[in-house]
Amino acid sequence: MTIARAPASLEEARALLIARARAQRIEGPDDEAIEALLEREVKTPAPTDEECRRYYERNAARFRAGDIVEASHILFAMTPRVPPGALRAKAAEVHSIVSRDPARFAEMAAQYSNCPSAAVGGSLGQLGRGDTVPEFDAALFADARVGLLPDLVTSRHGFHIVLVARRVEGSMLPFEAVRAAIGAHLRERSFEQALTQYLQILGGATSPLVQ
């Protein structure tokens, strides 16, 4: 028995789709043939209001507007010359110092931070959701904590010691305002899952779809 598998690359997936389209006598340029094939054979129902509302309630933080955080950080930037382990250890050491004496935050930022904000004590000013890279943004808005975050924040730029000075709470966007966006997101996610399954079937040598 042959076990269906997902294609190993985009090129392989594209080749499978083109072959299937031609087997179904779908003519035209490859891209148009693939689009017609998927429209015919990979169908995903529109999400219901109940499904959209459930997603809205379970992901409430994504649908807030107006949240503002006033924050500072000390960045230990990744560089090819410094091993990540050693860099993280130094960041943890400075984090420990600042944890014991938060009044030294600006001093430590000026001494250690690899960000231009070091010149102003590490201050990043006021930040809204989406103003920074996703991993840093997630740490800033993870909860209502004010003060020094208890753990280092890891981002694509390096390791951060983060101090939240103030939070201004926003409000939830009404469901009606985001219903269309949620529906599009859920349908796209459903399509991706259906497409993965479809490609696994196409990739199976014994699949009835490729007879």
Instruction: Name the one residue in this structure whose structure tokens are 């753990």.
Output: 151
pLDDT given for residue 211 in this prediction? 36
Q: Which domain holds residue 82?
A: 67-169
DSSP β-bridge partners for residue 161: 74
Query: 114 and 25, same structural domain?
Result: no
Q: How many CB atoms lie within 10 A of CB 174?
A: 10
Q: What is the pTM of this model?
A: 0.57
Question: For 150-168, what is each residue's pLDDT tens digit?
Answer: 999 999 999 999 999 999 8
Instruction: Name the one residue in this structure whose structure tokens are 């800033």.
Output: 140
pLDDT given for residue 173 in this prediction? 86
Query: 161 and 78, same structural domain?
Result: yes
Number of domains in the chain: 2
Average confidence (pLDDT) per 10 residues, the chain, 211 residues: 54 90 92 92 92 93 84 95 93 97 96 96 93 92 90 95 92 91 94 91 56 36
Query: 182 and 150, same structural domain?
Result: no
Query: 118 and 35, same structural domain?
Result: no
What is the C-alpha to C-alpha distance for residues 27 and 34, in angstroms, rounded to an integer? 10
- 28: alpha, beta or left, given left = phi > 0 and alpha = psi -120 to 50? left
Instruction: Name the one residue in this structure whose structure tokens are 């649908």.
Output: 63
